[in-house]
């Protein structure tokens, strides 16, 4: 039983896929030698002038519109001031009171029914620069921390949700859908291992008491390095907050907001420094950067170029391809390239369900088993179409189809070449009918059985036919035999 | 007006260690600057649009084109402490 509600809001930082940094021409490439991608601008040397990367701003607007945000006609950048060794300028260029976008939403749903469909509100999306990285090697016993400023100045989108999530599972669902959306848009690679996508969670409880609902102090949880750890960390933190509440009865406002870090090994959160009040950042407009205006025509132009987003594609697959919400969810969640593969197969063979079955059971299974991406997959959509056409047309049964598929995959053959290699030949229709006539005539007992209402008895014709010609299609043999018997 | 506490807080945020005497001096000097700027509050700005930038220029962008970065040794040469690869700073722990 739960006598409290869990209230969760998320702050997601996403690196945008630009070649260069937000304010200078240094590369944003991940994994370079430390401190080889910096210049006087991104390290904040006196007398340098930052100039906004047009592509970064365009990608930002694209993302905000896909998140159903309002685009501000006028936006500016501010200095957020704090001292930290990985922040060489002593301030981060960010957006304070006039972010370029605000008030959007993203819908989450789950065809497996684990969570209710829900529209989660986005408070704001703003564009800022990333900081560098600090590393401390405790094992080496060194007294120093090492600073790598390659990441400094990488374009970063901060997406702030409203506190609309009511469970860690909803938070995970939001992140999963957000990541999918961002990859469909092509604005970020969302690689959490490389820090392209980072998540902080704000969580507190609304405790039900006789005096009504009471909000507990808010805790910010950091260091969550996967969506799974987000779910686990928030689950842990909700339970911890409940324990703290029972002991302390502290309400929102009684203590400052606390920051806690998730320890993935120990499965706990640990307290970190107290969050400075936001006024302590002493934001003020950055005099080095000029404001940006966005016309409604420009907004309309970007909007029309967004392309088909995951939610719309799911609906299209259900309505135009006749597959279930569950199947369309599986397909769409594989990413745009995989969904395009499915669409090419489904369109080619003109059968959404058959394509869905093969895509999920054979294509996806192979990708999983062999840790491949769809781009690395050896059977082009056109080749799979050729195979599925043979199955649909009765030339191959499913079992033989799978053998052909395996040969296509492993030897890079076309469907025809794979069939030839396996010795599968299409049996001519007249030959097939003649063969069926022969076995029907030779088995009056079975014929009588079938006529007596036991249609299943016709199954034994299949084995007989296969003995005479291993290439016959079992389903066709049964069909023809039943027709012949019906005419007798 | 600016209090001694305000100055203490600002120096903390700026990671400046001030002696008691310096704190007094700063409170007085910063107080004079703030007081000077505060004269602006005497003006009636009700009908004036907020200004976010002194220069009336908007929408300045650059194309997303790579420019060479500076050599590492050039960048690291400016730091008080550095190894061949990294800037070195006093230990940063716990965050």
Residues 6+ apart with CB under 8 A from A445: none
Cross-chain Cβ contact B95/A285 below 8 Å? no
Among the partner-chain residues B55, B68, B85, the one whose CB lies closest to the CB of A290 is B55
A20 interfacial to chain B (CB closer than 8 Å): yes
Domain that holds residue A472: 429-487
A292 shares a domain with A389: no
A16 interfacial to chain B (CB closer than 8 Å): no
pLDDT band of A141, cuts 50, 70, 90: low
Q: What is the pLDDT of residue B68?
A: 97
- Tokens describing residue B45: 């700005």
A351 shares a domain with A209: no
pLDDT band of B84, cuts 50, 70, 90: very high
Q: What is the pLDDT of residue A275?
A: 47
Q: What is the pLDDT of residue B93?
A: 62
| Among A244, A274, A297, residue at a domain's last position | A297
Q: Is the pLDDT of residue A155 over 60?
A: yes
Residues A411-435, mean pLDDT to the nearest whole number: 86
How do residues A269-317 score in pLDDT, each as one tens digit?
999 865 455 558 999 999 999 999 999 999 999 999 999 999 999 999 9
Among the partner-chain residues A20, A148, A282, the one whose CB lies closest to the CB of B65 is A20
A152 shares a domain with A71: yes
Number of domains in chain A: 3
How do residues A165-216 score in pLDDT, each as one tens digit?
999 999 999 999 999 999 999 999 999 999 999 999 999 999 999 889 999 9
B21 interfacial to chain A (CB closer than 8 Å): no
Q: Which segment of A389-398, B17-26, B33-42 scores lowest on mean pLDDT?
A: A389-398
Residues of chain B found within 8 Å of residue A83, distances taken between Cβ atoms:
13-15
> Are the beta carbons of A294 and A73 closer than 8 angstroms?
yes
pLDDT band of A2, cuts 50, 70, 90: low
A404 shares a domain with A285: no
Q: What is the pLDDT of residue B95?
A: 43
Q: Give me the residues of A, 65-84, that contact B with CB < 8 A.
A: 76, 81-84
A26 interfacial to chain B (CB closer than 8 Å): yes
For chain A, the average pLDDT equals: 93
Q: What is the pLDDT of residue A150?
A: 98
A415 shares a domain with A463: no
| Among A271, A297, A323, residue at a domain's last position | A297
A364 shares a domain with A272: no
Q: Is the pLDDT of residue A140 over 70?
A: no
> Are the beta carbons of A49 and A200 closer than 8 angstroms?
no
Q: Which of B34, B50, B75 to mutate to test the interface with A (most CBs of A within 10 A)?
A: B75
> Are the beta carbons of A80 and A91 closer than 8 angstroms?
yes
Q: What is the CATH number of domain B1-41?
A: 1.10.20.60
Residues A414-439, mean pLDDT to the nearest whole number: 86
Selection from A164, A186, A195, A190 nearest residue A176 by Cα: A190
How do residues A34-67 score in pLDDT, each as one tens digit?
999 999 999 999 999 999 999 999 999 999 999 9
A322 shares a domain with A176: no
Alpha-carbon distance A146 to A463, whole Å?
Answer: 73
pLDDT band of A84, cuts 50, 70, 90: confident
Q: Is the pLDDT of residue A487 over 60?
A: yes
Among the partner-chain residues B62, B69, B94, the one whose CB lies closest to the CB of A37 is B69
Cross-chain Cβ contact B63/A82 below 8 Å? no
- Give this complex's ipTM: 0.91
Q: Give me the residues of A, 126-155, that contact B with CB < 8 A.
A: 134-136, 143-149
DSSP A216: P
Selection from B49, B52, B51, B59 nearest residue A61 by Cα: B59
pLDDT band of B26, cuts 50, 70, 90: very high
A19 interfacial to chain B (CB closer than 8 Å): yes
> Are the beta carbons of A110 and A297 closer than 8 angstroms?
no
Among the partner-chain residues A20, A84, A285, the one whose CB lies closest to the CB of B53 is A285
A289 shares a domain with A320: no
Residues of chain B found within 8 Å of residue A85, distances taken between Cβ atoms:
87, 89, 92
Cross-chain Cβ contact A55/B70 below 8 Å? no
- The reply to whether A303 falls in a domain is no
Among the partner-chain residues B65, B75, B95, the one whose CB lies closest to the CB of A38 is B75
CA distance B78 to chain A (A): 10
Q: Report the CATH number that the domain containing residue A446 is assigned in CATH.
A: 1.10.10
- The reply to whether A195 falls in a domain is yes
Alpha-carbon distance A202 to A246, whole Å?
Answer: 20
Cross-chain Cβ contact B88/A145 below 8 Å? yes
Residues of chain B found within 8 Å of residue A43, distances taken between Cβ atoms:
75
- The reply to whether A302 falls in a domain is no
A469 shares a domain with A437: yes
A72 shares a domain with A144: yes
A94 shares a domain with A176: yes
Selection from A223, A199, A196, A186 nearest residue A28 by Cα: A196
Q: Is the pLDDT of residue A252 over 80?
A: yes
> Are the beta carbons of A25 and A18 closer than 8 angstroms?
no
A344 shares a domain with A232: no
CA distance A182 to chain B (A): 20
Domain ranges for chain B: 1-41
A427 or A379: which leads in pLDDT? A379
Q: Is the pLDDT of residue B12 over 70?
A: yes
| Among A266, A297, A328, residue at a domain's last position | A297
Cross-chain Cβ contact A52/B60 below 8 Å? yes
Residues of chain A found within 8 Å of residue B65, distances taken between Cβ atoms:
19-20, 25
Alpha-carbon Rg for chain A in angstroms: 30
Q: Which segment of A187-196, A391-400, B64-73 scores lowest on mean pLDDT?
A: A391-400
């Amino acid at each position: 039983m739960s006598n409290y509600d869990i209230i969760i809001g998320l702050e997601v930082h996403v690196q945008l896929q630009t070649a260069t940094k937000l304010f200078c021409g240094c590369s944003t490439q991940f994994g370079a030698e430390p401190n080889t991608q910096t210049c006087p601008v991104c390290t904040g040397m006196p007398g340098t002038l930052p100039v906004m990367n047009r592509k970064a701003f365009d990608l930002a607007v694209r993302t905000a519109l896909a998140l159903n945000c309002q685009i501000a006609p006028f936006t500016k950048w501010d200095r957020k001031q704090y001292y930290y060794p990985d922040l060489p300028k002593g301030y981060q260029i960010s957006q304070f009171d006039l972010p370029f976008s605000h008030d959007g939403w993203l819908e989450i749903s789950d065809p497996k029914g684990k969570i209710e469909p829900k529209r989660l509100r986005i408070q704001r999306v703003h564009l800022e620069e990333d900081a560098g990285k600090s590393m401390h090697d405790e094992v080496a016993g060194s007294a120093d921390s090492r600073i790598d400023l390659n990441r400094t100045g990488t374009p970063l989108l901060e997406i702030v949700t409203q506190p609309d999530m009511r469970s860690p599972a909803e938070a995970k669902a939001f992140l999963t859908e957000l990541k999918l959306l961002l990859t469909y848009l092509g604005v970020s690679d969302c690689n959490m291992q490389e820090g392209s996508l980072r998540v902080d969670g704000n969580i507190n409880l609304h405790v039900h008491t006789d005096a009504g609902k009471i909000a507990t102090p808010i805790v910010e949880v950091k260091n969550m390095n996967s969506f799974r750890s987000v779910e686990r960390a928030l689950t842990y933190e909700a339970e911890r907050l409940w324990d703290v509440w029972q002991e302390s009865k502290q309400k929102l406002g009684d203590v400052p907001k606390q920051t806690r870090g998730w320890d993935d090994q120990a499965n706990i959160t640990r307290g970190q420094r107290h969050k400075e009040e936001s006024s302590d950042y002493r934001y003020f407009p950055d005099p080095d950067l000029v404001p940006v205006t966005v016309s409604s025509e420009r907004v309309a132009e970007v909007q029309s170029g967004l392309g088909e987003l995951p939610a719309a594609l799911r609906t299209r697959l259900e309505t135009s391809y006749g597959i279930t919400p569950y199947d369309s969810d599986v397909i769409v969640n594989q990413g745009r390239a995989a969904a395009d593969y499915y669409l090419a197969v489904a369109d080619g063979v003109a059968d959404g369900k058959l394509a869905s079955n093969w895509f999920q059971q054979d294509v996806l299974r192979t990708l999983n088993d062999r840790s491949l991406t769809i781009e690395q997959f050896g059977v082009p959509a056109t080749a799979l179409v050729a195979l599925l056409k043979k199955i649909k047309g009765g030339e191959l049964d499913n079992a033989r189809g799978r053998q052909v598929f395996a040969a296509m995959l492993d030897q890079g053959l076309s469907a025809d070449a794979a069939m030839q290699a396996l010795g599968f030949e299409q049996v001519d229709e007249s030959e097939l009918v003649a063969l069926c006539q022969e076995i029907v005539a030779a088995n009056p007992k079975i014929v009588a059985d079938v006529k007596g209402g036991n249609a299943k008895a016709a199954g034994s014709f299949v084995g007989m036919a296969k003995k005479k010609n291993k290439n016959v299609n079992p389903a066709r043999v049964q069909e023809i035999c039943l027709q012949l018997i019906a005419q007798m | 007006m600016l209090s001694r506490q305000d100055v203490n807080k600002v120096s903390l945020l700026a990671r400046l260690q001030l002696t008691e005497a310096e704190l007094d001096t700063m409170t007085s000097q910063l107080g004079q600057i703030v007081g000077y700027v505060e004269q602006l509050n005497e003006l009636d700005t009700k009908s004036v649009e907020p200004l976010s930038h002194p220069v009336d220029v908007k929408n300045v962008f650059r194309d997303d084109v790579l420019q060479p970065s500076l050599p590492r040794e050039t960048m690291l040469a400016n730091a008080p402490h550095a190894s061949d690869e990294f800037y070195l700073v006093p230990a940063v722990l716990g965050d």
